[in-house]
Amino acid sequence: MASPTETTATAIQLIIPDEKNTGFSLNPKISAQVKDLDRMLKAKIAIICVAGAFRKGKSFLLNFFLRYLTALVSGNTEDWINSDDHHRSGFHWKSGSKRDTTGILLWSQPFFIRKPDGQEVAVLLMDTQGTFDHQTTQQDCTTIFAFSTLLSSVQIFNLSQNISEADLQNLRLFVEFAALAKSSEGKALQHLWFLIRDWQFPDEHQYGEEGGSEYLSTVLDCSADRPQENKELREGIKKHFEKASCYLLPHPGKAVRDSKFTGDVQRLETEFVEEIESFVEKIAAPENITVKKVNGNELSGSELIDFMEVYFEAFSS
């Protein structure tokens, strides 16, 4: 049976495009829309975000996080992947090519998870507008990607088939921005995951994290014969993120090409389901949750709200 929070939670806009589409503003009603606000303000925070071009399965992935976190909160994660279908009420996603997410979306229900050391963490899920898609200007794209990365403790850069030079170049402005946000205490940014959908070369690098790690080393290799500026970009990624990882996912199977497909797990390829399960747990299992840190200090919910305002001001000016 669905709990009350499951039925009433929804995706809310964290930043909203201006009427004239010239930029964004921070949603002033965000605190009023987040559920269990008082509890969240006191807890430590973890934010899992997914960014990347539109129609590449970001919301689809976030629905698996919703499903897992809901199972964790209910105390039973056995067979969570097949648990109550969140895909119908979760982050809005559908087949086709029309974009339906704008700005940055936050799931209104924080998930209160106890880490093995007893610490309670409020886990928040974030979805982004189709960053790097053809309708988004470079400025908007940088704002969304940079702001969501600064806020998150885990940023998942969702990519199709491989990490292209263009994908890395999209990080350039952002990495330069991160250099400005860097404090003397440590790295400004936490964990960056490159998630490669529809990986086609499992013979070269197998699906999962290990294969992803081998692949990422080849992509971020600075000794290779590359122009100096591309080397600097790669150095920047290594320098500003505490950790950069990569995960290779197989194709989910032909069900996703069906316009009537609503996310039924039974219709997905078993190998895909197993890998998604492992990826989600790698990030959201209690022992793996990364608490948001700024200048080396773990953030509470109330500090997050202050931090959000300060950083957003910095972007807008």
- What residue ranges bind ligand GDP (CB under 6 A)? 54-60, 93, 95, 130, 197-198, 249, 251-252, 256, 261
In angstroms, give the least distance from the CB of 99 to ligand GDP.
7
In angstroms, give the least distance from the CB of 264 to ligand GDP.
11
- Determine the number of helices (DSSP H) and then strands (DSSP E) in the chain: 11, 11
Pick the closer one to ligand GDP by CB: 208 or 252: 252
Pick the closer one to ligand GDP by CB: 54 or 241: 54
Pick the closer one to ligand GDP by CB: 220 or 268: 268
Pick the closer one to ligand GDP by CB: 44 or 197: 197
3-class secondary structure, 224: coil
Pick the closer one to ligand GDP by CB: 198 or 303: 198
Residue 117 neighbours by CB distance under 10 Å: 7
In angstroms, give the least distance from the CB of 255 to ligand GDP.
8
In angstroms, give the least distance from the CB of 207 to ligand GDP.
12
Alpha-carbon distances of 133 from 101, 143, 162, 243, 296, rounded to whole Å? 12, 14, 16, 26, 33
Which two three-digit tokens encode residue 138? 């470079």
What is the chain's Cα-based Rg? 19
| Residue number closest to ligand GDP, CB atom | 57
Pick the closer one to ligand GDP by CB: 177 or 215: 215
DSSP 89: T
For residues 27 and 15, is the Cβ–Cβ distance under 8 A? yes
Alpha-carbon distances of 227 from 165, 233, 234, 238, 240, rounded to whole Å? 12, 10, 11, 17, 20
In angstroms, give the least distance from the CB of 274 to ligand GDP.
14
In angstroms, give the least distance from the CB of 58 to ligand GDP.
3
Containing 157, the helix (H) or strand (E) segment is strand 154-160
Pick the closer one to ligand GDP by CB: 253 or 286: 253
Distance of CA 72 to the CA centre of its chain: 19
Alpha-carbon distances of 45 from 8, 151, 216, 232, rounded to whole Å? 22, 10, 28, 32
In angstroms, give the least distance from the CB of 173 to ligand GDP.
21
E-assigned strand segments in 18-80: 24-26, 44-51
